[in-house]
Amino acid sequence: MSKRSVLGVMIDDVDASTAVTQIIEAAQAQRGYSVSALAVHGVMTGADDDDHRCRLNALDLLVADGQPVRWALNWLYSVGLRERVYGPKLMLDACQAAVDASLPIYLYGSSPETVAALRAALTQRFPGLTVAGAEPSCFAKKTESEMDEVAARVRGTGARLCFVGLGCPRQEVFVYENASRFGMPVIAVGAAFDYHAGLLAEPPLWVQKSGLQWLYRLCQDPVRLWRRYVLLNPRYLVALAKQKTRGSRVEIRVDGPIWVGWA
């Protein structure tokens, strides 16, 4: 796998099949493995914050969830990535692979109602899937000792993969801090919880392929999302043009993870 800088955030230029293979291999080895799928908003949270960029760049697998992120990889590096690695689809593919490999999963995040509905929907969709546990977070900040208790509880269920739905960037911080503690793949999938629980309508396929999913989501929840899309999307395009024109450089922090900046 190759990591490529998109505004300093290191994205893996892999397809969904490769991503699932890496996740399942880590699950079978009972190895901590941190995963997230980023759209434009996720990339910009890293581009705007040095500390968060270091977190993102320390993740084991960071894939292009949004079409504009996939297009950026192809435009900047000519990697020929044919499809994005869409978080909700990645979750379904990983669940099917978990069934095939007899690996129980765990669900962490969102509200009690969402997690309950998601658990029921997944077990109906994948009859052989073992959901070892499901736990809402209610988006509350936990102490280190409390997270140790959560990790012990998750491991104690026999789960071998954990899906996390906390929203960006909270879920990426969670994955960064806890994948090793959990000792299994911890995968941030965001809106997949609401989509697969049947609580939020997923965009039509043509909307997804055209790169207009941001507009669809904006229409669903304009009050909450207008700043994310109306302000960040133009900045993303301008910053990409600067990166393409001016090139990129690698900077190494001796006191933390490697990160790549652009100038």
Backbone angles phi, psi at 135, to 5 degrees: -140, 120
Choose among 180, 183, 112, 178: nearest CA to 147: 178
- Give the CA diameter of the chain: 52
Banded model confidence at residue 25, pLDDT cuts 50, 70, 90: very high
CB 132 within 8 A of CB 149: no
Place of tokens 């993102």: 56
Instruction: Write the CA distances from 33 to 94, 134, 138, 155, integer angstroms.
Output: 14, 19, 24, 14
Q: Which two tokens stand for residue 119?
A: 């658990």
Report strand pairing: 3-6 vs 9-12: antiparallel
Digit-coded pLDDT (tens) for 73-97: 999 999 999 999 999 999 999 999 9
Digit-coded pLDDT (tens) for 142-175: 888 999 999 999 999 999 999 999 988 999 999 9
Angle, vertex CA 48, rays to CA 45 and CA 234, nearest 5: 80
Q: Compute the chain's Rg from CA coordinates.
A: 18
**Residue 81, helix vs strand vs coil:** coil
- Report the C-alpha gap between 58 and 255 in whole angstroms: 13
Banded model confidence at residue 210, pLDDT cuts 50, 70, 90: confident
